[in-house]
Amino acid sequence: MISNINQIGILTGGGDCPGLNAVIRAIAKTAIMGYGLEVIGFIDGFKGLVENRYIQLDLRKVSGISHTGGTVLGTSNRDNPFKYFTVSEGNVQHSDESDRAISNMHHLGLDGLIVIGGDGSLNIANQFQEKGVNVVGVPKTIDNDLSGTDVTFGFNTAVNTASEALDRLHTTAESHHRVMVLEVMGRYTGWIALHAGISGGADVILIPEIPYKIDEIIKKISERYRQGKNFSIIVVAEGALPEHGEIVIRNLVSTSHDPIRLGGIGNKVAEDIGERLKNIEIRVTVLGHLQRGGSPIPYDRILSTRYGVAAVEAFMDGKFGTMVSLQGREITTVPINDAIKDIRKVEPDSALVKAARSVGVNFGD
């Protein structure tokens, strides 16, 4: 253990996620109670780091927050200190403010930084590590797309939210003999759609890793109607795409370091089905940010707590440039470089996909 560490900073970057407050609480309590450290929390992610906006986290400030959604520190998915944007006279300008951020850390007497985020935030964290800042990462994303860990916190709560939505859609679909399309988040991976679709009894699951053919979806719906099943449930990941087609982009945010915003594939699928099956009513539900909000389920509260404790322990052991990771049942560390070099995708021939096919799920292929 390193003995000369006295104060650490933490921040939450990227989109919000159930379990963030549980991680913040675990980091602060472990650092203060276990090692006698002071903990500084930066407001609104890397934006607070650049603008030197922070609060001191003590035991009182983190008391009773593990069950709450969101993040008490605030977050931002637009602010990259290495390409920091400002607006002057209506014009967007970018500049490298990383040295300013490092200067703020030095001025506060910080011995390093724990970054809680997904691949974008951890990529920024890795750049700070390369500039000499002591960094430890914590894997956060509802998309579950970070390589280097079996599960990211927030994912299972998002799946739970989507599954509950499917339970409700199921009853109204059956009552009105409709095709119900549920669009879920996940970016370029289908983890939420796959897990929620299986748990929610979906008939069709469309994910980016298996490009779909609309004719195969039509076949599945028509087959169900011939069997007297006058409704169908379709789960669509926001990054799903037709064979030989492209993903649907809702809009571009020029001020963000990740400017692409996906969305709209659910409506496209519904329109394509409606053009071929004109006698069937189709409805689309876009779950959107409901998947990010609300209290974390117990699994994510526990995982977040384990991650927070492990992050402080890794920091005190001098394991800088690493991300805490769940491997099987154990929490370990992996280099941040390894965690961000690839997007963790669903394997089309995985056991879970095969199990879904065995119970009649159609993937549009």
Closest CA relative to residue 23, chosen from 104, 128, 138: 138
C-alpha dihedral sign at 82, 85, 86, 89: positive
With residues binned 3-state (H G I as helix, E B as strand, rest as coil), the percentages for the chain, rounded to 5, are: 40, 20, 40
> Residue 355 and residue 60: Cα distance in Å, rounded?
47
> Residue 139 and residue 153: Cα distance in Å, rounded?
7
Query: Using an 8 Å Cβ cutoff, are 131 and 86 in contact?
Result: no
Closest CA relative to residue 231, chosen from 319, 167, 150, 171: 171
Could you confirm whether 143 is annotated as catalytic?
yes
Max Cα separation, the chain? 72
* DSSP character string of 31-58: IIIIH--EEEEETTTHHHHHHT-EEEE-
> Residue 207 and residue 188: Cα distance in Å, rounded?
9
Query: Using an 8 Å Cβ cutoff, are 327 and 149 in contact?
Result: yes
Work out the end-to-end distance of the chain between its first and last CA atoms, rounded to an integer number of angstroms: 53
> Residue 237 and residue 189: Cα distance in Å, rounded?
8
Torsion of CA 112, 113, 119, 124, to 10 degrees: -60
Q: List the catalytic residue out of 111, 143, 145, 300.
A: 143
Positions marked catalytic = 143
